[in-house]
Amino acid sequence: MNLSQAVSPLLIRLGRSRASRLHATRRLVSNLDLERQCGLLAAKYLDRALVRRDAISERRIAIVERRLGLLLPEALRAYYRVAGRAAALNTAHNQLLYPEDLGVEDNHLMFMDENQSVVSWGFRLADLAKADPVVWQRNNTAPVEWHSERKSFTRFMESMFRWYRSAGIWH
């Protein structure tokens, strides 16, 4: 039984207002876990502690969400909040897009380009409500095709950082 199955009967008994508070509390805990996970991941591969200048503000993220008319997945938001400006991670090879450069193409929210723009990565719009959605890769030559990376955003970023290290991209 997963957490949602266990909590659903409880939500019905608590009523809407308490259920809403419980859902908000559960979401906050999940968000904090993702932020902590992203922070640990970034610090591990930066080989230093994260500092304030590595972060992108919540205000900046919210402005982009309003412009796009959608909410970013919590994992991407968490990563931006702790390491969104850490150039050693985000522009060493592939380019993590800054929030202002995010866009929607082919029913996907695009968040990263490969260093020679051969491929790009995004999330299916239908998956944006998931806290840590699966990443999809698009080849940028005709015929354009999408392929699942079969990894959530956090797992995708970690595997990319491991590859950077093993390939000698980071010295």
Pick the CATH number of 3-167 from 3.40.190, 3.30.1490, 3.40.1580, 1.10.3470: 3.40.1580
Residue pLDDT, tens place only, 15-61: 455 545 544 544 544 566 899 999 999 999 998 999 999 999 999 99
Angle (CA) 140 170 150, round 5°: 45
Q: How far apart are CA 116 and CA 147, in angstroms?
A: 18
Output the pLDDT for position 171.
54
Specify the pTM. Answer: 0.81
Decide: 115 and 91 in contact? Cβ < 8 Å.
Answer: no
Q: Report DSSP letters for 99-126, one per residue.
A: GGG-EEETTEEEEEE-TTSSEEEEEEGG
Beta-carbon contacts of 14 under 8 Å, excluding residues fewer than 6 positions away, are 22
pLDDT in tens, 48-80: 999 999 999 999 999 999 999 999 999 999 999
Q: In this predicted model, what pLDDT tens digit does every residue of 77-119 receive, in sequence order?
A: 999 999 999 999 999 999 999 999 999 999 999 999 999 999 9
- Neighbouring-strand partners of residue 136: 122, 148
pLDDT for 3: 40
Kindly tell me if the per-residue pLDDT of 7 is higher than 50. Answer: no
Please tell me the predicted confidence (pLDDT) of residue 31. 64
